[in-house]
Structure 1
Amino acid sequence: MMQKLSKTITLLILVITLAVPTTAFAAKNDQGVDWSVYQGTYGKFGYAHDKFAIIQIGGRNSNQGIYEQATYTTQVASAIAQGKRAHTYIWYEVGGSIDLSKATLDYFLPRIQTPKGSIVALDYESGASGDKQANTNAILYGMQRVKAAGYTPMYYSYRPYTIANVYYQQILAEFPNSLWMAAYPNYQVTPTPNWQVFPSMDGVAIYQFTSTYIAGGLDGNIDLTGITDNGYTKGNAEKPKTETPAVEAGKEADNTPKKTLKVGDTVKVNFSATNWATGEGIPTWVKGNTYKVIQINGNKFLLDGVMSWINRSNAEIIATSQTEQTISNAPKPVAKTYVVHYGDTLSGIAYANGTSVAALQSLNGINNPNWIYVGQTLKLSGTATVLPSVKTYTVRYGDNLSVIASKLGTTVNNLVSKNGIKNANMIYPGQVLKY
């Protein structure tokens, strides 16, 4: 999710029936995802049938104290704009301390951007104290605060961690069917739940069944009770009753007809898209990702980054230029530091946090962008973002400078000059090139 510690139809129905209440809800058995900064500015869904996203606003951890996710507001707007239900979660590493719980909730509850009534989950999977009752009290305090603020409280974790550190039955006594629990069969791509590893506990309302929902990694979840309808009119993400800027911006983008698409708008390439407007096949890695529109010609528009023409029917608007202005006027979360995780690259961290590799190198005294290590704390504040007028391209596996230059309509010499490249044969996947 999050920060991880990281046959018949009859049988399937029987397992679900035994595990959850039988009341019918519009969203029961809907699948969805959860997002943090790793899913980028606009987040990403795994499949066209996904109906909800639960989005990290930030939280508290032992390394940083209270921190914010810079992608929260734009991800909320993006989910709403795509007709999905957006919810919130808070990284809740408070141990058994009511004081830390209070400080965390005091900070984040006023900043929630999803609708009143929507889920606000407390992610309790790290930092538990040795006092099981104190841990439980801190969680209950947080859930009580969430409810008092007008949202639907949930508790997220793993079954073994919960059993070891929390009296979860006390949570269910006050908040029935409020558990969001994770259990994975393995780390193979898993598009649907494996009920053989379902966490057998009372009160599970959402089951996070994989962290590899798609190739490359993404958490997959299933709503067992209809709880992700909360905060929405009959589960309709277009009409939440809220005044929050992110949701209003998302509604605006969702209601924008394609015929009014403008240069500068952001679109997502549909998973069902097969061919570019020029007839070539659309690569799998493009689908589901978002791109700026940089040119329009009739029913076709040119996507920035991939520099390819796509038919209007194969993409959907997720943010208008006016929408992005609305979001930019909202209070912006700014992460001050970032702790390097396994698999991170400096270019990926820079992209996710709206800055540049050069800025991170300068701020952290890094001579070689490949020399970062797991657990390293990088400074982010004060970094200079790449101006919108500067176009960039992220190197992909199999690229070389001549191919990139041809794709971008420029020359190898121009790329070498603008990026200070000493050896034209030495570029690497994830490297961000200016052109």
Structure 2
Amino acid sequence: MTNKHKLKLGAVAVAAAFLLAPVALAPTKDVSAARLDMVDVSNNNGYMSTAEYVSMRNEFGVKAVTVKISEGGTYKDPYAASNIANVQAAGMYINGYHFARYATKAQAIAEADFAGKTAKVAGLPVGAVLATDVESQEANNQSKATNDRNNAAFMKEIQKFGYRADIYTSGSWANNKMTIKGKTGWVAGYPYVMSGQKWYTNNNAWQWSGSAHFRISYGGFDVSQLYTDYYTAGQKSTVKPTNKDAVKANNQGANKNTSKPSTSAKWVKEAKTYTLKTAVKLRTGASTSSNAITILPAGTTVKTDQAIIQGGYRWVRQPRSHGYGYLATGPASNTLEYVKSGAAHTYYTVKSGDSWWAIAQRNGLSMTTLASQNGKTIYTTIYPGQRLVVR
């Protein structure tokens, strides 16, 4: 979700793919193209107006929007309330999600209480889905049984607030790092070739792209196809687009654009020293499916030479005596969450009234450079008291 805070994981369980029978397809017609039924948004998308949501509905066929509500036990998405109000004003179904940081049952219950209270204040209506987004390093460090226990505790607690529960995770984690039962779950898996594929048909929703574009909205968005009515208030959708021709054309365009690997992710130079806050797997490649070389314990010092954002994580490369090792520093949308830089860096503490532009100007940087070296974008909200790397 990255790019929710989410970081959306691109690793896919290929065994879940199903091909339509050839006789059901006309030679030049891709009837199996994935739909843009649901969009998820967070503070990473900035302020989203009602007009933008109306365009998504009428020109792209979007039926539902799931907005970030909270993260961990303290973070409240600053755009949750405006997103909820504007989605409702646009006449679409509204849901929410909480980015999970819990590692124990007690933490899961506490985070559910925090998410439920935050959702109430933000205006998420009773009966909406409030999903737990489980893709963090904390969850990755747990066993499947522990994650299942924690997720169950969160979902049971969230129902006390009148919300319906669900789990969001990646295809590589579903039924591997946690159980995703049939007719439940919102699963992310980004294919290279869309045509003819329908994945995760046994689940509520399949997030099939993290880079869809809409006509009057800036940047890429996470989009999902719905297989049940769970995210449309438990009923057959009553949301109807006003421009069906545009919906058809935009749907074809979105599927075409995701039909081959993204070339946007590139390795960049990053000569840094990190001290790990938690144990992290050092892998043979920059992917959660790559084999683990070893597990680096908390407190380990890691010197890196390059970094890349892909597969929902920010990865760094560690030169070794024989080749390289790769480790994830955290989600792509919050890249320094699990590591802290060495003393070589210069930090700036954000003050009230500061902006990316103002801080960048004072330190002789471009806004893009300042944001990227802190693992963020210029559209990420910054807060007083936050520390940013400026050198």
The alignment's TM-score, normalised by the length of structure 2, stands at 0.52
* Aligned partner of 2:229 among 213, 226, 229: 226
> 1:154 maps to which residue?
166
Distance 1:381 1:209, change over 3 A: closer
The percent of aligned pairs where both chains have the same amino acid is 18
Amino acid at match of 1:381: Y
Amino acid at match of 1:69: D
Q: Deviations over 1:109-153 (max 9, x none)?
A: 012122111111111112223322111100011111122321111
Distance 1:105 1:30, change over 3 A: same
Q: Deviations over 1:87-119 (max 9, x none)?
A: 101111223x11221221121201212211111
Amino acid at match of 2:227: L
The CA deviation at 1:358 is 4.5
Report the Cα distance in structure 1 between the residues aligned to 2:199 and 2:108, rounded to whole angstroms: 29
8 Å contact from structure 2 (residues 205, 227) kept in 1? yes
Amino acid at match of 2:174: T
SS at match of 2:211: coil
> 2:197 maps to which residue?
196
Distance 1:358 1:124, change over 3 A: same
Amino acid at match of 1:357: W
Aligned length: 240
> 1:205 maps to which residue?
204
Q: Which has the higher contact order (CA 8 A, sep 6+)?
A: 2
> 1:55 maps to which residue?
67
Query: In angstroms, what is the RMSD of aligned CA positions?
Result: 3.8
Unaligned 5+ segments in structure 1 are 18-28, 238-270, 273-337, 342-352, 384-435
Matched, 1:104 2:111: yes
Matched, 1:369 2:366: yes
8 Å contact from structure 1 (residues 83, 236) kept in 2? no
The CA deviation at 1:184 is 1.3
8 Å contact from structure 1 (residues 125, 157) kept in 2? yes
Distance 1:366 1:145, change over 3 A: farther
Distance 1:194 1:103, change over 3 A: farther
Report the Cα distance in structure 2 between the residues aligned to 1:107 and 1:355, rounded to whole angstroms: 28
Amino acid at match of 1:185: P
The alignment's TM-score, normalised by the length of structure 1, stands at 0.47
Matched, 1:10 2:24: yes
Matched, 1:35 2:41: yes
Amino acid at match of 2:82: T
> 1:419 maps to which residue?
none
The CA deviation at 1:156 is 0.5
8 Å contact from structure 1 (residues 153, 178) kept in 2? no
Amino acid at match of 1:75: N
Report the Cα distance in structure 2 between the residues aligned to 1:146 and 1:48, rounded to whole angstroms: 31
Matches within 5 A, 1:42-81: 42=48, 44-45=52-53, 46=56, 47-60=59-72, 66-81=74-89
Amino acid at match of 1:182: A
Higher strand share: 2
Distance 1:30 1:159, change over 3 A: closer
Q: Deviations over 1:168-188 (max 9, x none)?
A: 3xxx3xxx62211111113x9
8 Å contact from structure 1 (residues 116, 231) kept in 2? no
Amino acid at match of 2:365: N
> 1:297 maps to which residue?
none
The higher radius of gyration belongs to 1
Matches within 5 A, 1:14-413: 31-42=37-48, 44-45=52-53, 46=56, 47-60=59-72, 66-95=74-103, 97-112=104-119, 113-127=123-137, 128=139, 129-168=141-180, 172=181, 177-186=183-192, 194=195, 196=197, 198-199=199-200, 203-214=202-213, 216-230=219-233, 235=237, 339=334, 356-361=355-360, 366-370=363-367, 371-372=369-370, 373-376=372-375, 380-382=382-384
SS at match of 1:162: coil
The CA deviation at 1:72 is 0.9
Amino acid at match of 1:219: D
Q: Deviations over 1:68-92 (max 9, x none)?
A: 2111111111111111111101111
8 Å contact from structure 1 (residues 209, 222) kept in 2? yes
The CA deviation at 1:195 is 5.2
Distance 1:91 1:340, change over 3 A: same
Report the Cα distance in structure 1 between the residues aligned to 2:8 and 2:36, rounded to whole angstroms: 26
Report the Cα distance in structure 1 between the residues aligned to 2:107 and 2:158, rounded to whole angstroms: 15
Distance 1:355 1:181, change over 3 A: farther
8 Å contact from structure 1 (residues 360, 379) kept in 2? no
The CA deviation at 1:58 is 2.0
SS at match of 2:173: helix
Report the Cα distance in structure 2 between the residues aligned to 1:369 and 1:58, rounded to whole angstroms: 30
Report the Cα distance in structure 1 between the residues aligned to 2:70 and 2:47, rounded to whole angstroms: 14
SS at match of 2:212: coil
8 Å contact from structure 1 (residues 194, 209) kept in 2? no
Report the Cα distance in structure 1 between the residues aligned to 2:353 and 2:124, rounded to whole angstroms: 22
